[in-house]
């Protein structure tokens, strides 16, 4: 059961990371901020937060 929760959380985390990796720099360019400087912090924060929530949420549903 844990391997299912971890595997599903990883797939969902990859999707969030891909979306954040595209959308955050585009949003920063729109507001005239250099995406090379600012996007790493936002993408890291988003992926870390969502991976934690995905794993705990899926584990809770499976238990």
In angstroms, the CA 10 to CA 58 distance is 11
In angstroms, the CA 37 to CA 25 distance is 10
Assign 35 a pLDDT band (cuts: 50, 70, 90). confident
* CA triple 9-18-61, angle to 5 deg: 20
Alpha-carbon torsion, ordered 40, 41, 47, 50, to 10 deg: -160
Q: Does residue 63 register a pLDDT over 90? A: no
pTM for the complete prediction?
0.81
């Amino acid at each position: 059961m844990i391997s299912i929760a971890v595997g599903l959380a990883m797939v969902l985390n990859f999707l969030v990371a891909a979306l954040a990796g595209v959308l955050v720099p585009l949003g920063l360019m729109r507001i005239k901020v250099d995406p090379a400087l600012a996007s790493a912090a936002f993408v890291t924060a988003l992926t870390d937060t969502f991976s934690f929530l995905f794993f705990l949420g899926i584990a809770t549903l499976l238990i």
